[in-house]
Structure 1
Amino acid sequence: MAHEAVSSSLAVDEQDSATLHQPTKDATPKINLLGMSRAALEQFFESLGEKKFRAGQVMKWVHQYFITDFAQMSNISGKLREKLEKVCEVKAPEVVHRHYSKDGTRKWVFRVGEGSGSLVETVLIPADDKTGARKTLCISSQVGCALDCSFCSTGKQGFQRDLTPDEIIGQLWVANESYMEDVEVAERTRSVTNVVMMGMGEPLLNFKPVVQAMSLMLDDFAYGMSKRRVTLSTSGIVPMIDKLGEQLDVALAISLHAPNDELRNELVPINKKYPLEQLIASAQRYIKKDGNESARKHVTIEYVMLDGVNDKLEHAHQMVKLLKDLPSKINLIPFNPFPHAPYGRSSRNRIMAFQKVLSDAGFVCTIRQTRGDDIDAACGQLVGQVADRTRRAEQWKKKVAQQHEIVRSQG
């Protein structure tokens, strides 16, 4: 994940790579309807001389029945279907690798952009809950990340570009469609129950496309998801948290990882610009916005457990003090080491002791279960071998090697 420890252990299979093809470039590119909001689609159909309700019809075909062929949209006139076929398309990002774990976890690697493009990853994690089988999809918002958190390998590849609305919502479309491949169209349903914007990238630094995609997730003509089941996770871009509160009502998660500014400056450098006092205040404002809507009753606090770094009991007591006025649930995340990572995973006993301090203080505090280990899809393993265009990873690995050499020479 972009705000957590990330492993770069995935490589696209040779067989998968051999099947990749370069898309042909049309003289006049078709309009991709996949990422368009209902309002944009209504305006589009009016520009074609059609009624606005056509937008809702097409949205249902695309997002609820996973149909991309206009010829199959039977409640639309033949004349309009022919017109749409000429100027439009419904196109999700290209899947270049997929792997389904024995524990039910599913992972996709998508190619985005033209030509060789770039790769981003998406992971679906199943779990049983009171309402039945929960399926949570972790979605990426950027190729790479500019924040360079010290424990995250996504940041080590640097920032390449933002994802477009169709590239973001396309990850949800593919995940849902993967369960419907052998299901008759009339019997298809939306299988993904929860979405977390916790994949590659900082969602609030790609604000407009992320909000547009999340609005589609909530739209009854698209995925009709509950506000409580759509979560945006941020490392703490304070002004954009406030802006999000003005435009969308979804659950908010904060990638905290440290309970004091000195340590957080080291682990999450954006803290130097937006320190903890400002971050906690913005989270409080978000909860209070518009009368405390259902999705905003609390903030989820994400905290990666790094051995000997942020997992001491004094850190737990600092968290109690930091979060005392912020309604929050805390999710402790065992660190998943990646090549050249300068950190190790906290022991189970230390994580449980940390949890006890928080629970005794009245916080709901859970320890995240690692899933999908057999396909490198456990929490914090969402990167893959993406091109390091900024050479940041190379420089970082060199720095780590130099530190190891210093330790050896001194010992």
Structure 2
Amino acid sequence: MKPAPVNFHDLTREALRLQVVRWGFSPVHAARLWAYVYLEGLERWADMPELPVRFRAKAEGELAFPRLPVATETHSADGFTRKYLLALADDRRIETVLMRYTGRVTACISSQAGCAMGCVFCATGQMGFARHLAAGEIVAQALHVDRVLRQASCNLVGYKGPGPTSRGERLRNIVLMGMGEPLHNYDAVMTATEILCDSAGLSLGTKQVTLSTVGVVPGILRLADEGRPIHLAVSLHGATQAERAALVPVAKKWPLDELMDACRYYIAKQQRRIFYEWTLIEGKNDSADNAHAVGRLLQGQNAQVNLIPLNPTAGYGGAPTGQDAARRFQQILREYRLPSTIRQRRGIDIAAGCGQLATLPP
């Protein structure tokens, strides 16, 4: 039986070049194929006339361009957010979010179906873990958002053919903050990041990619040692071991002291800032004492704190901190020379906010 075609989106540009050379063809054809797919948004061999017929015949039997079908598309009343429930080949589901901001479009993409980390206020964590996503399944989410934007651009100028246009929005940022723990699926996530940031493809640039982790210490250390220049965001949520472990069970495996050592190592090795995420839960971790504890914990680090008022989920009964209390928390952080932002709430009405992504198993 002939093996199934390889998912094109699993391949880095170098892996594709090597494959094409193994077939006995020029690497020039690999470069042109890569540009057709990632620069021009094409997926049909008939739309790639510059590739020789003999090469296309070989590649068509060896490579596939599988899309993730849209099971459900939901638009937020805020007018800036769309959520896509995407179907995987094994009939599991993942969620991807398109978010518009002034001057940029961001895709929030998933790295796993479900999550093994079990954060108590997170809908994905409440689901449990199903499986890792392959690199191509991660890339396909970004490509889906890119296609949506390309189509909107084409409609804007009345263009009906394939490929990019000169007007309209393009995908600018990727946040690996969707379903799953990216550092739990390290190799696939890094391969996907390499593909998405390739200068000959979507060319997002590592400055446009942010990876959010709940604190997987070995992954943070590996990220530092490998010199991966993407932005790192660490979900903190508690400034003592006991408080953090109550919200983030994985803190029992990687205690707060060990996590802080890893973060300081990352900052020193990479010479770059870490973003700490703090979900503000009314009456739980939003007091002045909590803010001072965060300040003492992070003082002196090259760090920024992203304050995120809790988003509601069915499995957790906490309430979000109000704006006045959030600003007081932020003011205390300034006393420790810690910059901070209060996360702009987007897509809450369609459960597209941080911690809200979830699907029912098939």
Give me the TM-score of the superposition, normalised by structure 2: 0.92
- SS of structure 2 residue aligned to 1:215: helix
Give me the whole-angstrom Cα distance separating, in 1, the residues matched to 2:146 and 2:75. 14
Give me the whole-angstrom Cα distance separating, in 2, the residues matched to 1:246 and 1:76. 40
Give me the whole-angstrom Cα distance separating, in 2, the residues matched to 1:187 and 1:108. 22
Give me the whole-angstrom Cα distance separating, in 1, the residues matched to 2:357 and 2:127. 13
User: Does 1:199 find its partner at 2:175?
Assistant: no
Aligned residue in 1 for 2:83: 107
Distance apart, 1:191 and its partner CA: 1.2
User: Does 1:153 find its partner at 2:123?
Assistant: yes
Give me the whole-angstrom Cα distance separating, in 2, the residues matched to 1:382 and 1:45. 39
Aligned residue in 2 for 1:288: 268
User: Is the contact between residue 145 and residue 160 of structure 1 (CA under 8 Å) also seen in structure 2?
Assistant: yes
What letter is aligned with 1:210? V
Choose from 261, 266, 283 the match for 2:246: 266
* Stretch of structure 1 that moved more, 210-219 or 72-81: 72-81
> Where do residues 372-387 of structure 1 align in structure 2 (5 Å cutoff)?
372-386=347-361
User: What per-residue deviation string (whole Å, max 9, x for no partner) do you get for residues 103-146 of structure 1?
Assistant: 221211111133xx211001111111xxxx11111110001111
Distance apart, 1:244 and its partner CA: 1.6
User: Does 1:210 find its partner at 2:200?
Assistant: no
Give me the whole-angstrom Cα distance separating, in 1, the residues matched to 2:353 and 2:219. 29
Give me the whole-angstrom Cα distance separating, in 1, the residues matched to 2:280 and 2:274. 19
User: Is the contact between residue 41 and residue 164 of structure 2 (CA under 8 Å) also seen in structure 1?
Assistant: no
Give me the whole-angstrom Cα distance separating, in 2, the residues matched to 1:135 and 1:78. 37
What letter is aligned with 1:372? G
Give me the whole-angstrom Cα distance separating, in 2, the residues matched to 1:138 and 1:381. 12
Give me the whole-angstrom Cα distance separating, in 2, the residues matched to 1:44 and 1:315. 54
User: Is the contact between residue 65 and residue 188 of structure 1 (CA under 8 Å) also seen in structure 2?
Assistant: no
- SS of structure 2 residue aligned to 1:179: helix
Aligned residue in 2 for 1:222: 201
Aligned residue in 1 for 2:290: 315
User: What per-residue deviation string (whole Å, max 9, x for no partner) do you get for residues 257-292 of structure 1?
Assistant: 1111110011111111212222122122222225x2
What letter is aligned with 1:266? A
Identify the structure with bigger relative contact order (alpha carbons < 8 Å, sequence gap 6+). 1
- SS of structure 2 residue aligned to 1:300: strand
* Stretch of structure 1 that moved more, 199-208 or 277-286: 277-286
Give me the whole-angstrom Cα distance separating, in 2, the residues matched to 1:340 and 1:357. 31
User: What per-residue deviation string (whole Å, max 9, x for no partner) do you get for residues 173-203 of structure 1?
Assistant: 0000111123544534781111111111111
Gaps of 5+ in 1: 1-25, 388-411
Aligned residue in 2 for 1:48: 23
Give me the whole-angstrom Cα distance separating, in 1, the residues matched to 2:257 and 2:353. 31
Give me the whole-angstrom Cα distance separating, in 2, the residues matched to 1:185 and 1:359. 50
RMSD, matched Cα: 1.8
- SS of structure 1 residue aligned to 2:10: coil
- Between the two proteins, what is the percent identity of the paired residues? 32
Choose from 295, 312, 320 the match for 1:337: 312
Distance apart, 1:27 and its partner CA: 6.1
User: Is the contact between residue 310 and residue 321 of structure 2 (CA under 8 Å) also seen in structure 1?
Assistant: yes
What letter is aligned with 2:194? S
User: Does 1:139 find its partner at 2:119?
Assistant: no
User: What per-residue deviation string (whole Å, max 9, x for no partner) do you get for residues 43-68 of structure 1?
Assistant: 11011111223222222211221111
User: Does 1:355 find its partner at 2:337?
Assistant: no
- SS of structure 2 residue aligned to 1:193: strand
Give me the TM-score of the superposition, normalised by structure 1: 0.81
Gaps of 5+ in 2: none
Runs of 4 or more off by more than 6 Å in structure 1?
none
Cα pair distance change 1:371/1:275, threshold 3 Å: same
Aligned residue in 1 for 2:164: 187
User: Does 1:243 find its partner at 2:222?
Assistant: yes
- SS of structure 1 residue aligned to 2:104: strand
Q: How many residues align?
A: 351
What letter is aligned with 1:34? H
- SS of structure 2 residue aligned to 1:180: helix
Distance apart, 1:207 and its partner CA: 0.8
User: Is the contact between residue 68 and residue 91 of structure 1 (CA under 8 Å) also seen in structure 2?
Assistant: no
Cα pair distance change 1:311/1:176, threshold 3 Å: same
